[in-house]
Amino acid sequence: MLQMMMAGKVYESSEFKTAMDSNYFPLDKMKQSVTTLTGSNNIDIATMEFGQYQPILAPANINPNGPKAWLKHVGSARVSLTAQANTKPLSKDQPDVIPLTKCALLDASIRKCFNSDPPICMQVNVTQKAKDSADPTLHDILLEWEYAPGSNVPTLLNLTMVCPFLP
């Protein structure tokens, strides 16, 4: 996900996805990430936003020369998602929580994962819009929660960042 956004083209390799997901899945890894973020002076886990935690958890994957390029591309995605209204609830266990924008939904989902007890694992995917898709120049997100049988409490977030079409 990170290299795709930074390079301006789709970058989907199993090695990269595995490296990123290793911070959020399985549960022991997610707990380690929560401990790392809680102990960091560079972030407040209760109020963090998408894009802020990755440079702390995986700095070499973000950019070996520093996080500036990552922050620029995350900022672009955040601006795009902030301009798009949201009507979906956060999750089944919080059906009355309906963030106003897609960016606010993404942030609330991330905070829910890291601040739940136990934390909720995540698996991240990245894709690129097709040239002829609706709004091919805008970012989008797909958030799919998985639940234990008979429960409304999520156990996994499948997060897909959908990047704009780039020729």
Tell me if 99 sits within 8 A of 81, measured CB to CB: no
Q: What angle do CA 52, 57, 62 make, to 5 degrees?
A: 70
More confident residue, 20 or 137: 137
User: Model confidence over 134-146: pLDDT tens digits?
Assistant: 999 999 999 999 9
Phi, psi dihedral angles at 105 (to 5 degrees): -65, -45
pTM for the predicted model, two decimal places: 0.90
| CA gap 44, 21 in Å, rounded | 21
- The mean-pLDDT minimum among 10-19, 33-42, 51-60, 124-133 falls in 10-19
Structure tokens at 48: 């963090």
Task: Report which DSSP code applies to 150.
Answer: T
Which residues are CB-contacts of 150 (< 8 A; sequence separation ≥ 6)? none
Q: Are strands 140-147 and 154-163 parallel, antiparallel or unpaired?
A: antiparallel
Structural domain boundaries in the chain: 2-163
Q: If pLDDT is split at 50, 70 and 90, which confidence band does 11 have?
A: very low
User: Model confidence over 70-106: pLDDT tens digits?
Assistant: 788 889 999 999 999 999 999 999 999 999 999 999 9
